[in-house]
Amino acid sequence: MRAKTPIPVEGLDRPVQGVLWMLAMTLSFTAVNVIVHWLGSDLPAAQTSFIRFLWGWIFVAPALWKITQSRFAPRIWALFGLRGVLQGIAVLMWFFAMARIPIADVTAIGYLNPIVVTIGGALLLGEGFAWRRGLAIGIAVIGALVILRPGVREIMPGHVAQLGAALFFGISYLVMKRLSGLAPASVIVAMMTVVVTLFLAPFAWLVWKPMTLSENLWLAATALFATLGHYCMTRAFACAPLTVTQPVVFLQLVWASTAGFLLFGEAVDPWVILGGAMIIGAISYMTWREAQIKRRATPAPVETKV
């Protein structure tokens, strides 16, 4: 007698919902970019980034209590610290860049984060590095050069800072990937918030300037929108595979270019759009290719005999 094939539980089979959640994510992160860009460079990057993460403690408060009840090994605490320091450096560079160069430039260069993760995964975590993945990385690097156009346009300190931010964000994500199998997601996020805040505190103290209530509240809004963005991204990943949701990320560059033009009078640079499209295309191809490989490696379900 053959048993009926079990009906699959609800999983990655809601592409429309996944796309909508990802769309909400792009709008949330664009709101963060717009606020930080609007605040400008009047306040030091160390101070604005510190205040943003200090506000973030409100959103991770429930997980902080869970941490006090946890008994992690010293190695895991060290990984928490390393991830927080790397994230803190990246955030500091990102705030510096966002206040000084067009929003679209920051957004497009930020798309390099997954490329850093891919290279780091191959070199540090022993993940595969097939020629197709290498080709996609090469296209993404060319996309970055299209955005920057060295020798054709002036490379500002903000561009260099954002390249550094992409590098450190990528390395931070590699450490987070290692932590994901050792601690709950809520604890990882909460510890990141705590360590980044503590890391930025002395830098903020050294350059501190008086702040208005309005500036404090706007930075609170960045913490809110950033938290909302991460929540929407998590929901998107739970609804649909990355091959469906990843291309939607390109809309963030569209929103950023539109906001830069309408709110700040920044010209829409077609080269930035093209370079960003090349990077996202390369990332989407790598995502699709890895999904294909996993599908081939996973044996088809068979009916069991009773």
**Secondary structure string (H, E, C) spanning 155-211:** CCHHHHHHHHHHHHHHHHHHHHHHHCCCCCHHHHHHHHHHHHHHHHHHHHHHCCCCC
Whether the model pTM is above 0.75: yes
Which pLDDT value is given to residue 129? 62
Structure tokens at 214: 């309005």
- Token pair 């346009």 is at which residue? 153
Are the C-beta atoms of residues 220 and 55 closer than 8 Å to each other? yes
Determine contact, residues 105/163, Cβ cutoff 8 Å: no
Burial of 181 (0-12, 13-18, 19+ CB in 10 A): exposed
> Using CB atoms within 10 A of its CB, is residue 94 exposed (0-12), middle (13-18) or buried (19+)?
buried
Closest CA to 78 of 219, 183, 6, 218: 183
Q: Which two tokens stand for residue 140?
A: 């993404």
Contacts of 206 (CB under 8 A, 6+ apart): 46
Burial of 62 from C-beta contacts in 10 A (0-12 / 13-18 / 19+): exposed
For residue 65, the surrounding DSSP H or E stretch is: helix 45-68
Predicted pLDDT of residue 12: 60
Non-local (6+) Cβ contacts of 275 within 8 A are 108, 143, 144, 145, 146, 147, 148
Query: Whose CA is closest to 237, among 22, 91, 1?
Result: 22
CB atoms closer than 10 angstroms to residue 86: 24
pLDDT of residue 152: 80
pLDDT tens sequence for the chain (306 residues) = 444 444 344 456 778 888 899 899 999 999 999 999 999 888 999 999 999 999 999 888 888 877 877 788 889 999 999 999 999 999 999 999 998 999 999 999 988 888 887 777 777 666 566 667 778 888 888 988 999 888 788 889 999 999 999 999 989 888 888 887 888 877 888 888 999 999 999 999 999 999 999 999 999 999 999 889 888 887 887 787 767 777 888 889 999 999 999 999 998 899 999 999 998 888 888 777 766 766 665 544 443 333
153 DSSP β-pair partners: 150
- Among 250, 264, 195, 244, smallest CA distance to 34 is for 264
Nearest to 148 by CA among 159, 162, 164, 139: 159
- Phi-psi group of 300: left, alpha or beta (phi > 0 → left; psi -120 to 50 → alpha; rest → beta): beta
Tokens 């539109």 belong to residue: 258
